[in-house]
Chain A
Amino acid sequence: MKSWLGIVAVAALASVPLWLRDPYLLNALITTGIFIICAMSLNLLLGFTGQLSLGHIAFFGIGAYVSALTSLGFDVGLPGGFRIVHEPWPPMTGFALAVLASAFCGYLVGRLSFRVRGAYFVIVTISFAEVVRLVALNWVELTQGPLALTNIPPMEIGWAGLESFVFRTKLQNYYLVLVVAVISYILIARLVGSHFGRAMRGLMENETLAVSVGIDVTRTLTLAAVVSAGIAGAAGSLYAHYMKIIDPEVFAFINTVTMVIMVITGGKGSLAGPIVGGLVFGLMPVFLRPVMAPEAQWIAYGGALIAILFVMPRGIVPSLTARRLRSASTASDTFVERGVKEGA
């Protein structure tokens, strides 16, 4: 995305609360924003390394639980008579730990599952997410199980001794989500533009060729998984402190599917894709709600996914930009096309 277009887009998004006063819509925008951050992180894996993670919600959920538990405190018995007692820490440390914990899980999943590719990688990630969900559901002493973690404090920024800023209202949370989204976007854009990004795309287009020119497959893919999981964990932390309540349902498979839909329909491998797809599918329920029953909404949701895949299999953003740039294809595109032909 051109930088002036990005600045205009951020400015437009930042101005939204100035003219939009409806709390329901603002709430929808905040949750959509959190999901867009997740979708951007998923796009890093799916769009730039070609690995479809259908367990991405696990990193989000782990971030949410770690952040919530850090700021709530817990008292858990371990086998062998040990107990871990944790006194509540400020939410900001929760946020940092959430990013670290999720990134570490991303590292583990990346190391373990990049041995398997394609459909099998998909199934490993689904399994990982389901196991984490079942742990959250069954380890009642730590997570309260289906009773949910409640009274999670709002996000708070400040240092000891100084006046701290607490994100209590929807308006404040809207800007918090926007800032984290912009930081995530810049981080992903920088990573994708670096030599790591080129290595990722090289692997996606033609793995044999990429390996033959010296790209370290596992290192590159694991790095992508770590960054992707860390950002998803940050989104999870924001979610926990905004909603103030989380239960094991955050790990529901449908949440991953929602993210995948946002990435695919917006355009995987395009930095702006998840944002466009996220706005379309995140806000679709808001506009469908007055005219349709909830079940019919989901039917429309599934139908829209199928329709977009049939009409624009590459996604909204690439389909629109391809029309403009058809004549002026870049050097990297032709490299990619040649690589695909050789690989086929």
Chain B
Amino acid sequence: MSSEAAPAPIDGDRRAALISTCVVGGVGTIAAATPFVLSFQPSERAKAAGAPVEADISGIAPGEMKTFEWQGKPVWILHRTPQMLESIKKVDGEVNDPKSERTAAGYPPTPAYAKNEFRSIKPDYLVVVGICTHLGCSPKGPFAPGTNPQLSDDDQGFVCPCHGSTFDLAGRVFKNKPAPDNLPVPPYKFLSDSVVLIGDDSKA
């Protein structure tokens, strides 16, 4: 029956109505999808949870390290001995980014007060976020020379258990490892000789 009838001419008005209906419907669908997509973002509560943390460093003996929790992440404070600082100078040629010029993805650039040989305000104290810049595991360490096969014999530093990235005692990543960047330095300041405020570096 339909094969006998000539095809009806295209009705421009109906075609226009059809197209505009589809467009309006499409816009409505996108508008309706927006809250669902947005609901995946961090909630207001999660955003508010990043308050600065005070860290008492008086109990950290030379050569020892303590971990503090800031924004749900581990922040390490390592009390470096002169011998440890010496080991950092030695590996300038073996690390990927000796002067901390690169910026780890998802982190602010290295603060000006940490853009130095030892990546810290006071050479004695290293303050870094203990999260590997490769895929976010927390490296192990610090390892003394010769105690971890993944570090060269006389090097010391940190080793990521997940994919084998290695870092020196300034948190600088060694060359030819999966991690592209040095361990991030969080904003911090010394409130006194024994207290560090992690997460805030504003001058009072």
A, B: real partners: no
- The chain B residues found within 8 Å of chain A, CB to CB, are none
